[in-house]
Amino acid sequence: MPTSRREFIAGLGALALFPIERSEPDLILHNANVWTVNPRQPRAQAIAISNGNFYAIGTNEEVLALAAGSAKKIDLAGHTVLPGFIDAHSHPAEAGLDHLRMVDCDLRSIADILAALRKQAAKIPPGQWVLGFKYDDTKTSDGRPLTLKDLDEALPDHPVFVEHRGGHTAWVNSLALKLTKVDDNTPDPPGGNYDRDPDTGHLTGHVRENAKQAFQQLIPTNFTRDDHREGVKLIAKMMSRTGITSVTDALGSPQDLRAYQDARESGDLSVRVYCSIFFLHIQHMLDAGIRTGLGDEWVRVGFMKMICDGSISERTARLSQPYIGRPNDFGILVSIEDELYEHSRKAHEAGWQMGTHANGDVGIDTTLRVYERLQKEMPRRDPRFRLEHCTVVNDSLVQRIKALGAIPTPFSTYVYYHGEKMKEYGAERLDHMFALRSFIDAGIRPTQASDYPPGPFEPMMALQSEVTRTDSKGTVWGAKQKITLEEAIRVGTVHGAYASYEENLKGSIEPGKLADLVVLGRDPFKTEPSQLINTPVERTMVGGRWVWEA
C-alpha cells in the first residue's frame, strides 16, 4: 500500500525518508545512538535499510512503524552508530601481499619480533627467505635496534630480510649476506650503504636505501593472480574490523585494479575501493578511454598519481627551512616541475583527477603551481586536485589550496604513532603540519588518510591523534592544529567521500546513501579523548551487509 504509507510517512514530519515507493526496509537498526554526520538531521535512534541503501532515519517509533513483515529488526541496545570511515590514502593491495608472505614486526620487543620470525621459519624449508615488515627501531622496549647477532642466533638456517616500517631501510642476517655475496670488503652501492661497526669495520646487518636492492633481487616475487586477490581479501578484512568501509589506493596499477575486481567477484571485497593509477601506467588507461570515475560504488578508477618530494617519517620531505640539527638538509624533490606538468597535462585534459604526493612546503608549492597552470591553460569544472599528504603548510599555501578548491590528505595517525620522529621538524613547524585546523578554518575539506603500511589505519587512532595532537608517550605536537571530535569524524567520513566525487553516495547516514556504517561499543563523545583509541568497533556494515561482527 504505497499510497497510504506515503501519507502515513508525510505525517511523521521529522522522519527523513528516501522516496522509493516500491521498496520496503529489509533491515531496521533501532535503539541506537546514531550520529549521522548529516547537518539536517544530526542525531537519530533508528535506521531502516533497503537493498543496501539507507531508507529512513528517525526515532525508534517512526522507523519501526515502517517495518513490513519480512524486515529484520536489530536492537542495538543504545550503542553508538557512525557512518563508515573512509581512508582516503592507503596502499591496500600492496599491503595485502606483504601480509600474505611477510611477518608483521610491529611488535614491542626484539624477543617478540624474533619469536614471530622463528614461527614463520618453522613453516618453510631451510634456505628459504624469512621476510619481515613494519619493524620500527624506535618502537621496541629494548632501547636498541635489531642486530646481526640477534637474527643469526634466532634464524641460523634461513636468510632473513626485515624491512623498516618506512620501507627505506632493512635488517638482514649472515645467511642473507652470504647469498648476496656482500661482505666486509664490499663497497657501498651508489645511493645506499651497508652499515659497518665504526670500531671493527664489520657489517652490522643494517642496509639502507639502494643497498636493499642486492637482497630484494634474490627474494622471489612471483605472485599469481590468486595471490593478488587473496592479498586484497586479507587487507580488506583487517580494515573492516576497524570500521573502515571505503579506501583509496594511492599508488595503484592495472594489476591492482584487477585484484580489486577479482576480490569483488569472489565475494571477498569488504571495503569499497577508489583506485588511483600511477602516472607510469596512465598511457594504457588513456588509450583505452578510461578516466576517473569509471566503475561503480565498489571498485572505481581514481585519480592519476604523481610524486613531487620525499617522505615525512623518513625525514626527506622537501622543506624551505632545513631539518632541525641538519642545517644543510632541506630534503629531496623527486620530480622536476616541468615533468610534473607534462605528465599532468594529458591526463587533466582527458578528464582525470590529479593526486600528487607533496609533503614539504616546497613540494606543495611546486605541486600547486602545476595545478594552477593546468587550470589556467585548460580550465575544468570541479577538478578536485588532490595534494597527497600535504604535510607542512603556511598561510599562503592554505589560501592557494582554498582558491583552487584542492583537497589535502594529511596523515591521520602520524602524531600519535610517529611522534618521536617529529622533533626533527621542530615545534614551530609542527604548528603548521597535518594542519587540519588551518584547512577547516579556511573552508577546505581535508580527509582521513593512513598511508598504510607506513601509518596505522585504525580510524579510532586517527580520531585521537587529530583531536589531541598527542603521541603515544604523552607528548603534544602542534597543539594549534587540534580539531574537535565532531570535525575529525566529518574529516573521516563526508570529506573522504568528497575526495572521490562520491559525496552524494556515501559519507553520512541519510536516506538514499549506501548503507555503510560502524557500531561502536562506546560513545566517542562520552570518551576521554586520550582513550578514543580503545573504542571497541563491534560491527561494520557495507552496503547493508555486516562485514565485521566482534
Residues of this chain that interact with Zn ion (CB under 5 A) are 250, 451
Supply the minimum distance, in Å, between the C-beta of residue 62 and Zn ion: 43
455 vs 544 by CB, closer to Zn ion: 455
Q: What are the E-state strand segments in 442-489? A: none
Is residue 513 within 8 A of residue 40, CB to CB? The reply is no
SS (H, E, C) 117-171: HHHHHCCCCCCCCEEEEEECCCCCCCCCCCCHHHHHHHCCCCCEEEEECCCCEEE
| Min CB(442)–Zn ion separation in Å | 24
Shortest distance, position 169 Cβ to Zn ion, whole Å: 18
Task: Answer yes or no: are the C-beta atoms of 266 and 537 closer than 8 Å.
Answer: no
Closest Cα partner for 243 from 522, 489, 515, 538? Answer: 538
Asked if 156 contacts 148 with a C-beta cutoff of 8 angstroms, the reply is: no
- Minimum distance between the CB of residue 251 and Zn ion, rounded to whole angstroms? 6
Q: CB-wise, 47 or 304, nearer to Zn ion?
A: 304
Ramachandran class of 31: left when φ > 0, alpha when ψ lies in -120 to 50, beta otherwise:
left
Smaller CB distance to Zn ion: residue 16 or 387?
Answer: 387
Question: How far, CA to CA in Å, does 267 sit from each of 59, 78, 230, 259, 263?
Answer: 34, 31, 11, 12, 6
The span from the first CA to the last CA of the chain, in angstroms, equals: 38
Identify which of residues 95 and 520 has a Cβ nearer to Zn ion in the complex: 95
Q: Least Å distance between CB 448 and Zn ion?
A: 14
d(CA 50, CA 340): 45
> Minimum distance between the CB of residue 112 and Zn ion, rounded to whole angstroms?
27
Q: How far is CA 252 from CA 301, 308, 346, in A?
A: 9, 17, 18
| Cell numbers placing 285 | 588507461
Nearest approach, Cβ of residue 309 and Zn ion (Å): 13
Q: How far is CA 323 from CA 136, 334, 425, 426, in A?
A: 21, 17, 6, 8
Placement of cell 588513456 in the chain: 286
Q: Which is nearer to Zn ion, 451 or 502 (CB)?
A: 451
Q: Which is nearer to Zn ion, 451 or 466 (CB)?
A: 451
Smallest separation, CB 526 to Zn ion (Å) = 34
* Least distance between Zn ion and beta carbon 546 (Å): 29
Angle between helix 92-101 and helix 225-240 axes, rounded to 10 deg:
100
- My answer on whether omega of the bond before 456 falls inside 30° of 0, hence cis, is no
Cβ(249)–Cβ(277) under 8 Å? Answer: no
- Residue placing its CB nearer to Zn ion in the complex, 92 or 419: 92
Nearer to Zn ion, 180 or 391 (CB): 391
| 87 or 451: CB nearest Zn ion | 451
